[in-house]
Structure 1
């Protein structure tokens, strides 16, 4: 129920809105693409580029990987798409994927009345960075302390009255995974808001790396999937070189020359740094590993500061650049915990690394400071503590890797030492360590090979160790000689490792016998050059791929999607077979959408409907032709849309149909159990 405000509170409401806009402007006008260049700040609207955005359209929220994900055209669709209508939205994304930048863009839209923004008709926008809240449990107190600290004319109690009087309020809670009270049983306002026990009529968006443990079914999920080629091109034009086609082509060429960084540059934050460095440094070297790239980036941080110092401080900087043992240990201990520690109290941190080193880390941009509410705060007496964290988690992994190398070199049993270091969450920690020291790398690689799915990741670590693709060729050839599977349930690390190894094989002309995408619901991006998996990872064109199998789709492909996959397949130049297992495909394919190269190479396109029903696409007519179980064409026959048998039919009668199609007994039993029909009809 909207409450009427008296004239005094109406004036206070104006002060509140003006105060919020001042605070947001100070935040969105201070975007810093290169952390070591502190005098180069941008407004978020000048650098914001939309990466991939997908939404989960499943009816229930069951797990982080469940549900059917569908790509959106724009971040605005998170709020405008009728299928995603909800009062509670979760926006997921890995570190550096732009969650906080997106929230600042929304704040910019609200402050500047951007007409086509979903924030345009919102009366009041509340944007809070949850990592700053500390022990604050009251939303009104948090608003006063962090958003209206420079507006003395509005009190905490007046904020409460004003908010309840508004017809439209949008609350954005940024960084739940860094919230001090995350996953606790505290009945604070943040958890009450998430559970719709507070402000049930307000729109609430929550950004996070992972899903909170307890959520209502009303909550909808979106996820940021990073930069594709189109987004990277747009960023280069918008924020780096403008409409200079030659400069754009030069930066893109430098990225292509460093293909080993393709996965890393899917992370917007890392690509942004790479793009600016590639533009600023005409002699940017070629990198053979991500370790080499990161080492170069740290050198750039220090070189920029050295240029400012014309005295003996440059020599000190060189020594400090080489000696960072204390920082290494702090980073490692922070990551090697059941609940990772990614921020520290400034006074203690500064004392541990030494005041001089600490000040340089801050000046260089490796570390950043931020005020959070102190646990000593009481009542209305809000006290602040300055916390320090790494500019990005990757920097934390970089320095932790140096300490890990020291420990591993002298260790006999790694399992206990690494018990909290999950390579599926900290992949670059392991890759950096392998790249920094060959001896420690060998021990880590042997450890990784013993983990489920770790063999593929271990191959990438070997590449980090040597920097030479030739050193992993035997492993890549052995991997590609058999069927390579990418499954929906695979960890992000396993999928990444697999796709990178396949791309290495393709670029080195190593035959890839067969790739099976199991329950991955792939689609092709707008460029037609990448196959996008349900996880958001992309698989570029594999010129040495021989067979591509796509299995168990959870929805019917449209003619456009189907044509895009055919187009992708046609560019895999030695592909002989494209097969869809248990997929609902269009009944007829427009002949004009079938690429000529598929026809000229006579690529076999199959649709295996169930254990007894297969059909093959006639590339000349766009019609499906019936096949027996072994894939041989049945003249004059096509299959109808699958029909389910009556459960009362006996296995004996079912077998008579299946035996004519060459089905084995165990396959007949399976088909009958799940009610699959093998009926066909004459044309």
Structure 2
């Protein structure tokens, strides 16, 4: 947090955002050894309780100070927080997605997040995915909670449920992992913890086949646990009746979700539900009462909320299922008010609760953007053995590319993986999976996506494309893991990498198990294929090399670091002549006879470039010593004919030692303001070679040069103009040619791959 004022914790429902926030608060209060570095005051505010407050100072007074310090007013709080010498303060806002005024413009919360209020304080925010605007996320540090992996789950259940028994913990986890539904649900900490505590002695949970069945069992466990404490037969009978009659609770839950409300005054809810039903759900723990104005303030009244939003979605799903079952087929007004990406469990639960409602929901999802894949998941809540289910799976996976995008929500990535797994388990052919900036890493049990979801090996997968952000680096071991993953599929034919940086040679140990798989790499507009005999890359399109010989090779300003050896030019090997090498805003300095680029890479020489242009930021100043070093550096390259400086400020005099002036190269300087100068090595001064104020003037100059050539054979001016024009054109050509990868890598590939061709 030292590097950012705003810190965001994102996660799906049940992933432990609020639990983590409270753990941070607890540790800060009780354990000095784990306190946030430098934080002297920590202010914790549940955002669901901030509705109707007009300032952060009012919220702090009502929620934190009214009970213990009633004499303090908002002006006092503001005065304390706005003191110039105020010690380090952290405001922890828990549950941005539950903030009642989130849709209101220009709230004080928005002012704080944008830095227009209390800009000297640091802020930590927890929220569900996709609720916070990108304008906040771009200016903040953020982490995404990805839930339990198998190791974390086993550690928890062994320690907490089975009192340290590794054998019992492992046995329970094996059963959990053998059921595909439970395996996915076990990644959600809330589900896992509740399910583990409620069912570890219940063997029937192995047969559960849908999320609806799992959650029905969880809710039933709440009732069974409380019912076991009752002794009076009349009490038990009344309890069983209230357990079944929750229509009014269903309607309230649906209203809350549609209105964005997550809590109401307890008095109002009690009137709507009736005293008996209200007390029943508070008693078993599904509804939770808390103070409305401040913690422990007896005068503030009470508010009521669901134990967790997922329980609210469960009862809202009952209302949705009943509503759709009783209406005409085209009555989808209620569905249109719900976002399936935010309320996934409502849709899935409703499909599992009613077949009629499920058909309408699936039809609706198939007609909206990004809805088809989620429709498959909802379909699985009903009947996974139907012909329609298999036909839909086949249509989605076997007739083209199946995309998983990095920008997709956790739900969408997870839904796509579920669809692919279902297709594989039914021996349905999967033509190609494209991971578009969704690839995080490869582990033993599969590819980990950016959401934390794992894509396990799928037996019917034929091809995978890994498209990364520009310049992402893969080590030899990284490539080996991907090939090992794909070798587990009997149908795999192709592995394709795009936009990334790969090693120039892949170790043969990684190729043994991948024989028969075609591995290709497209770092820019050229396709390379892996030669399994020597582990090296060979170009598929030889014409690209010829095109690069006649075009400008630009080393753009880059951030991605590659191995130093990939930029070396071995002069003992065959050369490809590079017409113009442009250090486009990538030159940093000359250090010990090497040019250091902005990325930190050292360029030992200019290789086979005939002309080099140092193109800096406008107005950058180069001193005499630096220019002399660059000229000296240029002498290493036997092919170099011209060194040009562009848009920088140069010293008026450059004293070039006689050694450096012995070999004739042209040193030029273009100011960027219509002037071109050439360096006289003998005097060390710049001489005006050309002034051009417009295109018309240049055309006239060219015509004059042609006349001079005819009259007296002096063609020097024409040649200079022609070369200048060609080089300007090739700059433009290469911008579109190399828009996917750092050109330092392209240059290395050009030299390396030309050897084999």
CA contact (8 A) 1:97 1:225 kept: yes
Q: 1:395/1:217 Cα in 2 relative to 1: closer, same or farther (>3 Å)?
A: closer
2: CA distance, partners of 1:439 / 1:327: 22
Alignment of 1:471-490 (within 5 A): 472-482=389-399, 483-490=401-408
Which structure carries more relative contact order (alpha carbon 8 Å, separation 6+)?
1
Residue in 1 aligned with 2:538?
625
- Picking from 151, 154, 162, the partner of 1:233 is 154
Match of 2:379 in 1: 462
Q: Residues of 1 paired with 2:266 and 2:101: CA distance? A: 20
Q: Distance in 1 between matches of 2:486 and 2:59?
A: 53
What's the CA shift for 1:506?
2.6
What is the RMSD computed on CA atoms of the aligned residues?
Answer: 3.7
Q: Contact 2:292/2:301 (CA < 8 Å) preserved in 1? A: yes
Measured against aligned partners, the alpha-carbon deviations of 1:253-286 in whole angstroms (never above 9, x if no partner) come to 2322321233333222112212222324355342
Verify the 8 A CA contact 1:522 1:531 in the aligned structure 2: yes
CA radius of gyration, larger in = 2
**Cα separation, partners in 2 of 1:141 and 1:272, compared to 1, 3 Å:** same
Deviates more, 1:190-199 or 1:421-430: 190-199
Say whether 1:298 aligns with 2:219.
yes
Distance 1:516 1:491, change over 3 A: same
- What's the offset of the Cα at 1:620? 5.1
Superposition pairs of residues 631-670 of structure 1, within 5 angstroms = none
Alignment of 1:500 with 2:385, yes or no, is no
Q: Output the CA distance in 2 between the equivalents of 1:299 and 1:285.
A: 16
Aligned partner of 2:239 in structure 1 is: 317
Q: Which runs of 5+ in 1 are unaligned?
A: 1-78, 375-380, 632-639, 658-667
Deviations, residues 49-73 of structure 1 (Å, cap 9, x unaligned)? xxxxxxxxxxxxxxxxxxxxxxxxx
Partner residue, 1:614 = 527
* 1:252 and 2:173 are equivalent in the alignment: yes
Query: 1:95 pairs with 2, 5, 13, which one?
Result: 13
Do residues 602 (structure 1) and 521 (structure 2) align? no
1:682 is aligned to 2:604: no
CA distance, structure 2, for counterparts of residue 415 and residue 584 of structure 1? 49
Find the counterpart in structure 2 of residue 271 from structure 1.
192
Name the CA shift for 1:616/1:403 in 2 (closer, same or farther; >3 Å).
same
Question: Residues 553 and 584 of structure 1 are in contact (CA less than 8 Å); yes or no, is this contact kept in structure 2?
Answer: no
Query: Which residue of 1 is the match for residue 446 of structure 2?
Result: 530
Aligned residues of 2:524 and 2:740 also touching (Cα < 8 A): no
Equivalent residue in structure 1 for 2:113, among 194, 219, 225: 194
2:44 to 118, 127, 136: 127
Cα distance in structure 1, aligned partners of 2:328 and 2:303: 33
Q: Give the superposition deviation at 1:352.
A: 0.8
Asked if 1:205 corresponds to 2:124, the answer is yes
Worse-superposed segment, 385-394 or 207-216: 207-216
Among 457, 460, 464, the residue aligned to 1:544: 460
- Residues 1:554 and 2:449 are matched in the alignment: no
* Deviation at residue 583 of structure 1 after TM alignment: 2.4
Deviates more, 1:388-397 or 1:346-355: 388-397
The correspondence of residues 574-585 of structure 1 with structure 2, limited to 5 A, is 574-585=491-502
Shift of 1:118: 5.3
Residues 553 and 322 from structure 1, CA distance in 2 versus in 1: closer, same or farther, beyond 3 angstroms?
Answer: same
Range with greater deviation from structure 2 (316-325 or 486-495): 486-495
Measure how far apart 1:252 and its partner are: 0.9
In 2, Cα distance between the equivalents of 1:448 and 1:421?
11
Displacement, 1:543?
2.9
Q: How far apart are residue 458 of structure 1 and its match?
A: 2.1
* Residue number among 356, 359, 368 corresponding to 2:279 in the alignment: 359
C-alpha contact (below 8 Å) 1:520/1:553 kept by paired residues: no
How much does 1:162 deviate? Answer: 6.0
Contact kept, 8 Å, 2:14 with 2:191, in 1: the verdict is yes
Once residues 452 and 222 of structure 2 are traced to their aligned partners in structure 1, the CA distance between those partners, rounded to angstroms, is: 31
- Indicate if the aligned counterparts of 1:328 and 1:402 stay in contact, CA closer than 8 A: yes
User: After the TM superposition, which of the residue ranges 580-589 and 146-155 deviates more from structure 2?
Assistant: 146-155
Query: Is the 2:423–2:430 Cα contact (8 Å) retained in structure 1?
Result: yes
What is the alpha-carbon distance in structure 2 between the residues aligned to residue 465 and residue 324 of structure 1? 23
Q: How has the CA–CA distance of structure 1 residues 112 and 423 changed in structure 2, closer, same or farther, with 3 Å as cutoff?
A: same
For residues 368-411 of structure 1, the C-alpha deviation after alignment (integer angstroms, 9 at most, x for no partner) is: 1222339xxxxxx9962422222222222221122212221222
CA distance in 1, matches of 2:448, 2:127: 23
Distance in 2 (CA, whole Å) between partners of 1:282 and 1:576 is 42
Question: For 1:202 and 1:175, how far apart are their aligned partners in 2?
Answer: 19
Q: Do 1:131 and 1:372's aligned partners in 2 also have CA atoms closer than 8 Å?
A: no
Question: Structure 2: 5+ residue runs without aligned partners?
Answer: 545-565, 568-575, 583-723
User: Which TM-score applies when normalising by structure 2?
Assistant: 0.67
Q: Secondary structure at the match of 2:12?
A: coil
Aligned CA distance change for structure 1 residues 408 and 565 (closer, same or farther; 3 Å): same
